[in-house]
Structure 1
Amino acid sequence: MATDKPSKLKASKPKARLPRGFADRGPGELGATRAMLETIRKVYELYGFEALETPFIEYTDALGKFLPDQDRPNEGVFSFQDDDEQWLSLRYDLTAPLARHVAEHFDKLPKPFRSYRAGWVFRNEKPGPGRFRQFMQFDADTVGAPTVAADAEICMMMADTLEALGLAGKFVIKVNNRKVLDGVLEAIGLGGDENAGRRLTVLRAIDKFDKVGIDGVRDLLGPGRWENPEAKSGDFTKGAGLDEGQTQVVLSMLTPGGGEFFPASATYLDGRRELDEIEALVNGAGYQERIRIDPSVVRGLEYYTGPVFEAELTFTVSDEKGRPVRFGSVGGGGRYDGLVGRFRGEAVPATGFSIGVSRLASALSYLKTEAKPEFGPVVVVVMDRDQTAHYMGLVAQLRKEGIRAEMYLGNPKNLGNQFKYADRRNSPCVVIQGSDERAAGTVQIKDLIEGAKAAAAITDNAEWRESRPAQFSCAEAELVAKVIEVLDHHGVPHGDKLG
C-alpha cells in the first residue's frame, strides 16, 4: 500500500534562509574585527575608561522612545511581552542601557563615571544596502561631568582611536551643538513643547545632508521626499512642512558663514559659547587639524541636549560601478544630560561617543593594499585509525607551544580528501605519519603554501609524484621546531601558549 509520508516530510522541511537585515560572518571578518576592537579598547583604557557590559534586553520603558524610525512597528525596536505581561525590548543602542545602569547604581558609582562598552544592538528598521538590523557598536561615555571639557576630551579620544587604527590624515571629527540648532528653530517659530515633533523632523532632515545634498534637505524640510526623487518612486518620507522663509533660514546653516543673522536668543548664545570653548580646548591640545566645528552635524537621536559630534572618513572608495564614493560617518555621539535624569527626576550630565564597528571595519578593509590571508590550523592527517591517540598527542604538542592545530576528524579512508580539507581551511602545512614513519620515529611535513607555488610550475603527473614538492621528513622530536620554521617563513602568527 502506497504512503505519502516522504512527500509530507519533504513539504514540512524548513527552508534555510537568512532573515533580512542580518548577516553571517566568517573567520576573516571576525578576525579583523577582533583586532580592531582590541586597538579601540587600548585607547579607551589609556584615557582611563573601564569596561562595562549590559544585557541585550531591557524593559521597554527603560529604553525610552528616542529612535528616528518611529513610523515602524514597535517604534524602531524589537519588543515582546514577558510571562508577567511586562514589555521587553532588544537594546537599540548602548547608551540607554548605560543610563539605566547608572541610575540604578547611582550612589555606589564614582562620579564622573567613565565606562566603555562593546556589543550588538538591534533596530527594527527597513534594511537596505549597508543598513542592518543587527550591528555592533563600541561606546565610551563620561557620566557626571557638566563642563564641555568632557565633550572635548571624548572628541580627542576618538581622533586618537582612528589614528591608532591607521587612519591618520583620513578623517575629521565634526562638532556642532543642539542648543545652537534649537535657537535657530526658536527663531523660525518652532519653539515650545507643541512643536517638539516638527523640530525633530527638521533635525533629522539636516542630519541627512551628507546623503541627500542641499536639494534633498530642502524637500525634507518642506513637503517630503521620495526615495527616488526623479521617478517619484520608492519610499516617501514625510517632510517638516516648513514654508519657504523658514526653509531658507535652516538651509543657510549648512553654508559657510551661514546663521550669523539669527536672533541672539539665550539658547543660541549658550550653544555658541560651548562650541567656542570646545574649539579652544582641542586647538590648545593640538587637535585643530582633526577636530572642527561644523553646522551640518545634528545626530538623529532625540535625547541629545548639547554638543554633538561625528567621525567622518574623508577618503573615497569605488562603488560596484567604479564610481568614487565618500565613505562618510563611522561614529558619533554627543551630550545627553536628560537621559539618566529620566530615572531620577533631575538632570545628570553625560556625554559619549559610539563607533559603528561593522562600518569602520568595512572602511579599514578598503585601505589594505595587500590582503593578508587568514591562515587556518596545522592539520595532522590520519593514516592509521588505530593510532588516533598518537595523532592526538602530536596535535597536543603543537597546541602546547601556541600553534593552532587539529587532527582530521572526518572519514580518514581517503587521504586525498584530508588534503583537500586542509586546503579549504587554508592550512599552512600538514603533518603526515604512517606506519613506516612511526617505526622510524619520524614525521613528514608538507608545506602547503610552497607546495601550491611548486605545483603551478609542474605539469607532469609523474614529475609531481617523484618530487613531492615542499614535503620533508624530520624526527618526531623535532616536529614542533620544524612546524614553527614553516610558520615563521610565511609570517603565520603563533605563540599563544596554553597554561
Structure 2
Amino acid sequence: MTEKTKLITPRLPRGFEDRTPGEIAAVGVMIDKIKAVYERYGFDPVETPLLELTETLGKFLPDTDRPNAGVFSIQDDDEQWMSLRYDLTAPLARYFAENFETLPKPYRSYRQGYVFRNEKPGPGRFRQFMQFDADTVGAGGPEADAEMCMMMADVMDALGLQGKYVVRVNNRKVLDGVLNAAGVTSDEQKLAVLRAVDKLDKFGTDGVKLLLGAGRKDESGDFTKGAGLTDAQAAVVLDYVAGKPPADNDGVAELAAMQALFTAAGYGPDRIKIDPSVVRGLEYYTGPVFEIELTFKVQNEKGQDVVFGAVGGGGRYDGLVSRFRREPVPATGFSIGVSRLANALKLTGNLDAAEPAGPVVVLVMDKEQMAGYQAMVAELRHAGIRAEMFLGNTKNFGKQVAYADKRNSPIVVIEGSQEREQGILQIKDLIAGKQAAQAITDNAEWKAARPGQFEIKRGDLVSAVRKLLSEQQ
C-alpha cells in the first residue's frame, strides 16, 4: 500500500449495530425460553427470506417509481422490485397464500428474524432490529385472540417478569363505534382522537380532554394541536375512556368473550386486563388489539421516573391475507421487540449479559512441536471441550496468556521442553488465578506462588480439564 492510498474509515451506517458474543449468548437464552412457550402452545417455526417482491408487502408502501420510502428496495435482473421485509407478518401472509392448499387450517406458526425500516434512526430506534412473532391464520373467533394474550403472559412469566407486566386488551370495533357515536368522520380527525386516547396513561383524563379539544401545552411550552372536537363529541369519547363502552357493539361482545376465557384459564387482571386506552395500527387491525406493557419504572433521558412501557403487541388483522385470495382469511398474532425486551430483562437482572466462557487455550512453547500441541487440541475437541491452539506470535509467553485472558478462557495448557521430557503438562486455572491476584500485591510472591497452576500427567489431559471446568461452574 502506498502512502497516497486513502484508508477507508471503518464505521457502521447510522441505525445499525454490531453484536458481541455476550449479547448474542444472552439474547439466545431469552429466545430459547420464548420458543419453549410457543411450542407448548402448539406453534411451529417457519422461516421466510429477508427479501420479498415489493408488491407482496402491501398497501403500506408508497406508490413511487422507486419504492424506497420506508423500506430498502433493489431491482433484480428481471427488473422486478424487491424489498427487505419491514416486518414478519406481511411475508407470512404471502407464504400462507402461496401454500394454501397444503397448510393446515388454522395455521399456527412462529417466526424470528431481522426486519428493516428505511427511516431516520434515533436513540433506541434502529433501521435493523429483531422481531419474534406468533400468528394463527384461519381462525376467526375471539378464542384465537384470547390464546395470543395468554401466550404473551406466559412468555413474560417464563422470562422471570412475574408481577412486572400486564397484557392490555382492547378492540378496534369498540373504538370505531365510539368514533361513530361521536360523529367523527374524517380520517384526519379519527387519527387525532385515537392518538389522544393513546395518551391516557401518560397525561391522564384531563390531558386527553385537552387533546380532544383545541390542544395541549406541555411543561416546556410545546403545543400539541388537538382533534378539534366539540364538548359534546369529546364527552362521548371521555365516557368511553372512563369505562363506558357503546352499547350493542360487536367489539364489546368479543371482549366479554375473551374476558370469560381469561377468567376460566386463571388469568386475572394483574396479568391480562381489558383497557380502553390501547390503540394500535389504525389501518391494520380489524378487531381485538393487545400490548405487553412492563410496569416497573425506569429513568428517562431527563432523569424522571417513567414506566418502561410496551415490549410487544398485536391483534386481529383479517384483511392482510385476503390481498392474495378472494375468500376472507381471518388472522391474529403478536410481535415481540427482541432488543427492547432484552434491555428490559437486563434492567431487571433477568438477562445474563456476561461474556460467555472462551475456549481452553493450548500455548505454544516450542514452534518445532506444533504437531504435539495440535494433538492436544484435537483430544480436547473430540471430548466435546471447546479448545484452540495459540496461532499468534509465540515468542512471548506473557502475551499468549494475555490473549487467553482476553478470550475469557478458563484454562491454558502449558508444555515446554522440560514438561515434554517428563511426560507432564502444566494446567493454569485462569479463573482461580484472577481471584488470587486480588490478594497478592508483591510481584515476586506472585511468581513464586503461581496461583491456580498445577501439574498433571500428559495422558490425563482430558480428564483433568473436564474436572476443572466442572469445578469452575
Q: TM-score, normalising length from structure 2? A: 0.91
- Rounded to whole Å, the distance in 2 between the matches of 1:347 and 1:453 is 65
Is structure 2 residue 341 aligned with structure 1 residue 347?
A: no
SS at match of 2:324: helix
Report what 2:3 is aligned to: 6
Is structure 2 residue 456 aligned with structure 1 residue 474?
A: yes
Is structure 2 residue 450 aligned with structure 1 residue 489?
A: no
1:30 to 8, 24, 27: 24
Report what 1:111 is aligned to: 105
- Rounded to whole Å, the distance in 2 between the matches of 1:220 and 1:126 is 27
SS at match of 1:25: coil
Is structure 2 residue 348 aligned with structure 1 residue 358?
A: no
Report what 1:494 is aligned to: none
How far does the alpha carbon of each residue in 1:149-195 deviate from its partner, in whole angstroms, 9 at most, with x for none?
0111111111111111111222111110000011111223334xxx3
SS at match of 1:6: coil
8 Å CA contact 2:182, 2:234 repeated in 1: no
For the structure 1 residues 154 and 39, does the alpha-carbon distance in structure 2 shift closer, same or farther, using more than 3 Å as the test?
Answer: same
5+ long unaligned stretches in structure 2: none
Report what 1:21 is aligned to: 15
2:220 to 213, 230, 252: 230
Give 1:237 shift: 8.0
Aligned residues: 468
- Rounded to whole Å, the distance in 1 between the matches of 2:319 and 2:177 is 18
Give 1:408 shift: 1.3
Give 1:458 shift: 1.7
8 Å CA contact 2:23, 2:353 repeated in 1: no
8 Å CA contact 1:216, 1:225 repeated in 2: yes
Report what 2:129 is aligned to: 135
Counting only pairs closer than 5 Å after superposition, residues 160-199 of structure 1 correspond to structure 2 as: 160-191=154-185, 195-196=186-187, 198-199=189-190
- Rounded to whole Å, the distance in 2 between the matches of 1:223 and 1:82 is 50
1:52 to 46, 54, 61: 46
1:290 to 255, 259, 271: 271
For the structure 1 residues 441 and 40, does the alpha-carbon distance in structure 2 shift closer, same or farther, using more than 3 Å as the test?
Answer: same
Is structure 2 residue 383 aligned with structure 1 residue 401?
A: yes
For the structure 1 residues 81 and 204, does the alpha-carbon distance in structure 2 shift closer, same or farther, using more than 3 Å as the test?
Answer: farther
- Rounded to whole Å, the distance in 1 between the matches of 2:214 and 2:120 is 22
5+ long unaligned stretches in structure 1: 492-499
Is structure 2 residue 289 aligned with structure 1 residue 308?
A: yes
Greater displacement, 371-380 / 388-397: 371-380
Counting only pairs closer than 5 Å after superposition, residues 243-322 of structure 1 correspond to structure 2 as: 245-247=232-234, 249-254=236-241, 256-257=242-243, 259-260=244-245, 262=246, 264=247, 269-288=249-268, 289-300=270-281, 302-319=283-300
- Rounded to whole Å, the distance in 1 between the matches of 2:9 and 2:233 is 53
Is structure 2 residue 447 aligned with structure 1 residue 460?
A: no
For the structure 1 residues 209 and 384, does the alpha-carbon distance in structure 2 shift closer, same or farther, using more than 3 Å as the test?
Answer: farther
- Rounded to whole Å, the distance in 1 between the matches of 2:118 and 2:434 is 47
Greater displacement, 215-224 / 350-359: 215-224
How far does the alpha carbon of each residue in 1:198-230 deviate from its partner, in whole angstroms, 9 at most, with x for none?
43454345445556666776676567789x872
SS at match of 1:295: coil
2:194 to 203, 226, 247: 203
8 Å CA contact 2:22, 2:353 repeated in 1: no
Q: Percent of counterpart pairs with the same letter? A: 63
Give 1:386 shift: 2.1
Amino acid across the alignment from 2:369: Q
2:348 to 361, 367, 375: 367
RMSD: 2.8
- Rounded to whole Å, the distance in 1 between the matches of 2:309 and 2:48 is 29
For the structure 1 residues 416 and 83, does the alpha-carbon distance in structure 2 shift closer, same or farther, using more than 3 Å as the test?
Answer: same
- Rounded to whole Å, the distance in 1 between the matches of 2:9 and 2:406 is 26
For the structure 1 residues 94 and 37, does the alpha-carbon distance in structure 2 shift closer, same or farther, using more than 3 Å as the test?
Answer: same
For the structure 1 residues 158 and 15, does the alpha-carbon distance in structure 2 shift closer, same or farther, using more than 3 Å as the test?
Answer: same
1:422 to 401, 404, 407: 404
- Rounded to whole Å, the distance in 1 between the matches of 2:224 and 2:94 is 32
Report what 1:154 is aligned to: 148
For the structure 1 residues 321 and 189, does the alpha-carbon distance in structure 2 shift closer, same or farther, using more than 3 Å as the test?
Answer: closer
SS at match of 2:79: coil
Give 1:79 shift: 2.4
Is structure 2 residue 90 aligned with structure 1 residue 96?
A: yes
Amino acid across the alignment from 1:203: L
Amino acid across the alignment from 1:278: M
Counting only pairs closer than 5 Å after superposition, residues 318-337 of structure 1 correspond to structure 2 as: 318-319=299-300, 323-337=304-318
How far does the alpha carbon of each residue in 1:257-312 deviate from its partner, in whole angstroms, 9 at most, with x for none?
2x44x4x4x6xx10000000000001111012311101111123621100011111
SS at match of 1:76: coil
For the structure 1 residues 104 and 229, does the alpha-carbon distance in structure 2 shift closer, same or farther, using more than 3 Å as the test?
Answer: farther
Q: TM-score, normalising length from structure 1? A: 0.86
Amino acid across the alignment from 1:34: G
1:145 to 111, 117, 139: 139
For the structure 1 residues 67 and 300, does the alpha-carbon distance in structure 2 shift closer, same or farther, using more than 3 Å as the test?
Answer: farther
For the structure 1 residues 439 and 452, does the alpha-carbon distance in structure 2 shift closer, same or farther, using more than 3 Å as the test?
Answer: same
Report what 1:383 is aligned to: 365
1:80 to 64, 70, 74: 74
- Rounded to whole Å, the distance in 2 between the matches of 1:367 and 1:149 is 32
Amino acid across the alignment from 1:177: N
- Rounded to whole Å, the distance in 2 between the matches of 1:60 and 1:225 is 40
